[in-house]
Structure 1
Amino acid sequence: MTEQIQAFTRIRTTFSLQQADGVHIPFQNGIPVPSFDCQDRLKLDLGGAWRKQRFKADHDFSLSERDEHWFVQAVAEAEGRTEIGFDDSGWETIQLPFPENQIQGKEAAGSSETYEDGVWYRRHFELGMEWSGKAVTLHALSISYVADVWINGKWIGYHEGGFTPFALDLTPHIRIDDSNTIAIRVDNPPWGSRNDIIPAAAGTDFFNYTGIIHDLYISGSAPCHLSRVDIVPVDLRGNLRVTAIVENRSGSAVQAGLHGSIYEADQNSDAFLGSPYASQIKGEQASWNGELSAELTLGAGETKAAVFNICVENPHLWAFWQPNLYVAEFSLHAGGEGASDTFHTQFGIRTIETEGTNLLLNGRPIFLAGIARHEEWPDSGRTASWDKIRDDLLQMRDDLHVNYVRTAHYPNHVFTAVLLDRLGLAAASEIPLWQFVREQFEVQEEKRLSDQMWREMIFSQYNRPSVLMWSTQNESVEVELRTVYNKRLVEDLKTR
C-alpha cells in the first residue's frame, strides 16, 4: 500500500475560471459555482441526526489524486460504508452541523477535544415528487478538512479546505419519492503534520475543528436556472455592472427570457436582522436607467453570462453604520408559461480606493476602529447560526462602537457578511494561510490550493459591500515566494 500511495500525485484543485460571453465564469466540480445566498427554492436542510464512525485515516491517501487507483482503494477502505444497504445501526448518533470534537461548553483553554483524524458520516433522506425534474444541488458551507461525498453508493465529488463553501450536482444520482443515502468521508490531518495543507503550521493560534462544521443542505431549481448574479458598483453615481450566470443543466436546448428589477432594502422590516433571505427585505422599487432583460439560447449542459450596465438614480450609498442596501431580483422564463426560476441577492453601492496612505470609502478617508473576531463559541465550537452571529456583531457595534471587523483568520459563515452589510460594519476577510515558510509556499506554487481558497472566498462574498478587503494570508515569514504569491492573486483579482 505504501508504494502505491507514493505513486499517487497530489490531490488536484477543483476550481477553475472558464470564459463565456467575454466573462470569466467560476466553475467547480463540473458546475458553475452557485451563489450561497439563501434563495426561495426547494430546500432540504440536512441538519439533524446522522450516524458517525471515527477511523484512523491515511492522510496520504486522502490527499492523493482521485484516479483509478484511488477509487479501487477507496472501495476497499470503505468496506461498504458508502452503500445504501450498509448497516450503520452500531454507529454513534450526532446532531449536525457540529464539530466532531467533543465540546464541554467551557470558556477555557483545552475545553474541546483535540481530534484531528478521520470520520465517516451517513444518513437517509427523502425527496418528494415536487423534486421531480429539478436540478438538485448539494451545498456544503464548511467541512473540515477533506470531504468525499457519495449518494446512493455513487461517488459524486470531493473538496479540500475546512473554511470555504462548495457545491456538488446530485441530479443524476438522487431518487425521487424514495429513500436516498448520503455518505461523507472526512479526513482532517493534524496541523503541522505536513506542508501541503492549509493551515500547515503547528501551533496555529486558532483551533482545528474536524467534521461537518456549517450548514449542509440540498436545493432544487428548474433545470435552466440562475446560478449567481454578481454586481459591481462602478462609481458613486449609481452605475452598476450586473452579471447574471445562467446554467442549463438539462439535456436539451432551451430558449430563456431573463428579466431583472432593483428594489431598495427595507431597513425597518423584521427580516432585516431576522432572516438571511434577500427576498424578505425588499422595499420600494428603485428607479434605474438601462436594460435588465435578455433573451438567451442555451445548448444542453451549457452555461451563459448576461452582462448589464445600468444606473440607479439618486443612489443611497452604503457606509459605516449606514446600511443602505438594494435587492436585485431576477426571473428566468424557460420552456413554458410562468417564471421557471427566481433569484435574489442584496448588494450595496459604495467605492473603496486608496490615495497615498489613506483608505477611501466613497471618496472620503476613513479610520478603521475595529477588532479581530474568531468564529467560535463555548457550546458549539465553530458551528455558527444566524442568531449567534447577529448577537456577536450587535454587541460589537452597539457596546464597543466599532466600525470594522476582521474575520480572522479564515472566511466566516456566509451569514456573517450578510449581517455585516445590514449593520453597516466593514470587514476584511482572509483565507487561513497562516505563517507559511518557504517549503509550504513551494508546495502551493505547484498545488495552488491557496489560489482556489482565495477564489472560493471572493465568489462566496461577491456582492457584500461590507467586505472592503480580502486578505491573502497572515504573518508568513517567507519573503520571496510570498511576494510571487501575492502578485499572482492581485493579478487574478484585477483581470478576472
Structure 2
Amino acid sequence: MQSLLRPLVLALAALTGLVAPATPLINAADREVLALNGRWHVIVDPYDNGYVNYRLQRFDEATKPSGGYFLDRKPATPAELIEYDFDTSASLNVPGDWNSQDDKLLYYESTVWYRKRFDYTPRAAGARQFLHFGGANYEADVYLNGAKLGRHVGGFTPFEFEVTGKLKPTGNSLVVRVNNARRPEAVPTVNTDWWNYGGLTRDVRLLETPATAIRDFALRLQPGADRRVRGFVQLDGPGQPVTVEIPELKIAVAATADAAGRATFEFALTGAELWSPESPRLYAVTLTAGADRLTDRVGFRTIETRGADILLNGKSTFLRGISLHEENPLRGGRATTPADARQLLGWAQELGCNYVRLAHYPHNEHMARVADELGILLWAEVPVYWTIHWDNADTYANAENQLTELITRDRNRASVIIWSMANETPISPARTVFLKKLVAHTRALDPTRLISAAMERHSPADDPSTSIVEDELAEVTDLVSFNQYIGWYVGMPDDCAKAKWIINYNKPVIVSEFGADALQGLHGDRRARFTEEFQADLYAQTLTMLEKIPQLRGMTPWILCDFRSPRRHLPNIQDGWNRKGLIGENGTRKMAFGVLQEYYARKAAAYAKP
C-alpha cells in the first residue's frame, strides 16, 4: 500500500507545500500494544555463518532454507546437527548497543543475531499489526517465525514491517541480524570521529491499528501575521472522513481523504500561545479517521531568515548552542531513554543554551520530544560526513532515504528548526551536486524549516591569518554554517586576535564547531595542550574573535561532553575519548564551561532587550 500511495502523494504536494512519503507509522509510542524491549538472546557471528554458507550464498534466498540462524531451530533428534542455540546463548539489553554491554565487544564490527520470543493476542477483530524498530545500526535483516520480513539500511532512523496474519498466539520467534561493519559506499563511510555503536539501539514495539490507519500527519504554522496552520493527514487505506482537534483552543476541522488516502487542512490558530524557548507551549492534538485515533503534543512557531537575522516567531534571535553526541558519558554507550535526553539537554540549559546541534546523525526520537518540552531549539542532521562516495547513485539514495525518515519522524516537533545536509565535506563538483539534490529534496518535504550544512573555512596560502568561507552550497542554504579550529588544529589560541574573516553572504552565520581537547582535572599553563586552562583560554579568545563577524547569529561549540572515539589514542589523556567536551566523562564541568556560560548569559540579556 505504501509504495502504491507514494506517487499519488507526491503529486498532491502542491496542495499544502508538504510531501508525505511512504513511512513507518508516525508516533509509534501512542500505538504500542506490546513492548519488545528487555533481554534478547544473542549470537555473535563475525563470519556471518548464520547468514551465508561457505560459498557466500545467503540462506534466506533459498526457496526452502535448511540453514540460517533466523530459523531458530532445535535438533529434531539427537542425531541432527545444528550448531547454534539461542536459548543457551548470552543475552543483551534492548534498546542498547553491544559495545558497552560486553567488554569483549567493545571494538566489535560485524554481525550479531538477536532473538526474542513473545506471545500475542489481537486486541480487536480485524486489527493490523506492525513490528516497529526505532533504529538498528547499521543493517538489519528481520525474520518472524523463520520467514524474512525485510531489510533496513541506516543506523539511526525508524523502520517497520507489517505482520498482520503472521503472528501466533504463543511462541513467536523474532530474529534480527544486525551488522555494523563499516563500508566505503555507506552513509556514513568508513572513517568517522565517533564510536560505531552496533545493535538494536532504540525501542522495539509491536503496534496495532484498525484496518485503515493514520500513517502520517503534519501540522505547521505558516510564516506571516495571520497565524494560519496548514497540514495533512495521510491514511494507510481508502479515503474516509478525517478530523483534527485541538480541544484547548476549541479547534475542530474535518476533511475527507481522497483516493490516495490524503486529507489536507488549513485553519486559523486562534488564541494560541506560540512555542519558544522562553515559553515552550505544547497543545494536545487529536486525529481521528474512522476507528483510528491518534494523539500528539504539538507546538506552533515560525522560523525564517531576513538578511543576516534569524527570526523566531518574527523576533530576531541568537542561537546560544552546543554540539551533542547521542551518548551517556556517565553510564557509557548510546543514550537510549527519555531520562538520558533530559540529562543531556538539562546540562545544555545549565550552560545557558537555547539551542543544540544533534551531531552527526539522527538522534533518538526522545531527544526532539524532550526538547519540545524544555524549550530547546535543534539542528538535526544525517551522517553525510567527510568523504562520502559522491558519484555512487546507491550512496545518494541511501542518504536521501535517511534524510526522508528523519524529516518524517520529527517534522511535527517545534524544537527542530534546522535540517543539516552534511558535515565537513571537501568541495568538489560531484559533492556539490549531491548536496544540492539533498537540499531540493528537503525543501520538497518540508518548506517551513531552515536548511544548512557544516561547511569549512580556508586561508590563502600567503595569508594564514585570513579565513574565507566560500562554498557554492551556501548559495542554496538558508544559513552559512562552518566549522573552524583556529587555536587547536590551526595555530595557537593567541592567533585568534590576528584573525580576519571574509564571508560574502548576506545570510545568518552559525559557527557549527570550535573547541580544544582538555582532560578534566589536568591543570597547567594556558599554553599547555590538554589542560583545562588551554581549553578555557581558547574559548575566551575564540568568542572575542567570532564577535567580529557581523552576520554572526549563533554557534554550537564542540562539544558538551567527552565522547568515545577510536581515533583518539594518546595514553593517559585520550584513551579512546575525544576530550573536547565541556563536561568530562565523570560529569564534572571543566573551566571552559564557565567561560561559555558567562558569554551566553550576556548574549541572552542583550537579545532580551526590546
Equivalent residue, structure 2, for 1:163: 156
User: Alpha carbons of 1:382 and 1:262: their partners in 2 closer, same or farther (altered >3 Å)?
Assistant: same
- The residue correspondences of 1:406-425 to structure 2 (distance < 5 A) are 406-425=357-376
**2:200 partner letter:** I
Write out aligned runs for 1:88-487 (5 A): 88-103=86-101, 113-130=106-123, 132-175=125-168, 177-190=169-182, 194-202=183-191, 204-235=192-223, 236-248=225-237, 256-263=240-247, 285-288=248-251, 292-296=253-257, 303-333=260-290, 340-378=291-329, 379-397=331-349, 399-436=350-387, 440-444=389-393, 447-487=396-436
CA drift at 1:395: 2.5
| Of 482-491 and 86-95, the range deviating more from structure 2 | 86-95
- Structure 2 spans left out of the alignment, 5+ residues: 14-18, 76-84, 446-610
Q: Which of residues 27, 42, 50 is equivalent to 1:36?
A: 27
- Report how far residue 321 of structure 1 moved: 2.6
Amino acid at match of 2:255: A
- The structural deviation recorded for 1:327 is 2.3
Partner amino acid, structure 1, of 2:21: P
Q: How far apart, in 2, do the equivalents of 1:255 and 1:446 lie? A: 36
Per-residue deviation, residues 388-409 of structure 1 (Å, max 9, x unmatched) = 2112212321x21110000111
- Partner residue of 2:7 out of 11, 18, 31: 18
Asked if the contact 2:421/2:439 (under 8 Å) is kept, the reply is no
Taking the aligned partners of 2:261 and 2:363, their CA distance within structure 1 comes to 30
8 Å CA contact 1:98, 1:380 repeated in 2: no
Is 1:97–1:383's contact at 8 Å kept on the other side of the alignment?
A: no
Residue deviations 1:356-375 (CA, integer Å, cap 9, x gap): 22222122221111100111
Per-residue CA shift, 1:89-134, capped at 9, x if unaligned?
2311222111111448xxxxx9981111111111110112425521
Shift of 1:35: 0.9
Q: Taking structure 1 as reference, are residues 115 and 365 closer, same or farther at Cα in structure 2, changes over 3 Å only?
A: same
Q: Which residue of 1 aligns with 2:579?
A: none
Provide the TM-score with structure 1 as the length reference.
0.78
Give the number of aligned pairs. 421
In 2: Cα distance, 1:297 partner to 1:369 partner = 44
Deviation of residue 432 (structure 1)? 1.2
* Greater alpha carbon shift after TM alignment, 153-162 vs 481-490: 481-490
d(CA) in 2 for partners of 1:450, 1:77: 35
The equivalent of 2:42 in structure 1 is 52
| 8 Å Cα contact 1:44/1:217 also seen in 2 | yes
The whole-number CA distance in structure 1 between the counterparts of 2:306 and 2:394 is 32
- Residues of 2 paired with 1:114 and 1:233: CA distance? 46
8 Å Cα contact 1:43-1:219 kept in structure 2 = yes
C-alpha offsets along residues 153-206 of structure 1, whole Å, 9 cap, x if unaligned? 11111100111111211113212x22211011111113xxx321121142x111
Deviating more after overlay: 303-312 vs 484-493:
484-493
The match for 2:570 is none
Q: CA deviation at 1:312?
A: 1.1
Larger CA deviation: 85-94 vs 146-155: 85-94
Instruction: Say if 1:98 and 1:211, in contact at 8 Å, map to a contact too.
Output: yes
TM-score (norm 2): 0.64
Alpha-carbon deviation of 1:229?
1.6
Compute the displacement of 1:57 (Å): 4.4
State the Cα distance separating 1:415 from its structure 2 match: 1.1
Separation in 2, partners of 1:453, 1:174 = 29
Return the alpha-carbon distance in structure 2 between the equivalents of residues 467 and 113 of structure 1: 33
5+ residue gaps, structure 1, are 1-13, 63-67, 105-109, 249-253, 264-284, 334-339
8 Å CA contact 1:127, 1:178 repeated in 2: yes
Question: C-alpha deviations, 1:49-96, integer Å up to 9, x for none?
Answer: 21100112469x99xxxxx97843698695353346574223112221
1:294 Cα deviation from its structure 2 partner: 2.7
**Counterpart Cα distance in 2 of 1:373 and 1:111:** 27
Letter in 2 for 1:286: L
1:351·1:362 contact (CA, 8 Å) conserved in 2? yes
Q: Give 1 or 2 for the bigger CA radius of gyration.
A: 2
Distance 2:6 2:170 in 1: 36
| Kept in 2: contact 1:100–1:209 (CA 8 A) | yes
CA distance in 2, matches of 1:77, 1:142: 29
Q: Aligned equivalents of 2:216 and 2:345: distance in 1?
A: 27
Rounded to whole Å, the distance in 2 between the matches of 1:210 and 1:77 is 28
Change in 2 beyond 3 A, CA 1:37/1:121: closer
Cα distance in 1 for residues equivalent to 2:326 and 2:444: 32
The residue identity in structure 1 corresponding to 2:292 is D
Tell me how far 1:222 sits from its aligned partner. Answer: 0.8
State the 1:287 CA deviation: 3.7
3-state SS of paired residue (1:427): strand
1:351 deviation in Å? Answer: 1.4
* Deviations 1:344-385, CA, capped at 9 Å, x for gaps: 122222111112222221222211111001111242511410
Change in Cα spacing, 1:240 to 1:255, as seen in structure 2 (3 Å) is closer
Q: RMSD between aligned alpha carbons?
A: 2.8
Higher strand residue share: 1
Aligned equivalents of 1:76, 1:225: Cα separation in 2: 34
What SS does the aligned partner of 1:472 have? strand
One-letter amino acid of the counterpart of residue 214, structure 1: R
Instruction: Provide the C-alpha distance between the structure 1 equivalents of 2:353 and 2:428, rounded to a whole number of angstroms.
Output: 32
**Per-residue Cα deviation, 1:449-482 (whole angstroms, up to 9, x for no partner):** 0111111111110101111101111011143222
**CA shift digits 1:399-439 (9 cap, x unpaired):** 211100001111111011011111111010011121125xx
Shift, 1:255, TM fit: 7.0
Q: How many Å apart are 1:387 and its aligned residue? A: 1.3
Q: Distance in 1 between matches of 2:171 and 2:58?
A: 30
Find the aligned partners of 1:37 and 1:152 in 2 and give their Cα distance.
23
What secondary structure, in the 3-state scheme, does the structure 2 residue paired with 1:459 have? helix
**3-state DSSP of counterpart to 2:107:** coil
Task: Single out whichever of 424-433 and 74-83 deviates more from structure 2.
Answer: 74-83
1:219-244 CA deviation, whole Å, 9 max, x = no partner?
11111121122112113432111201
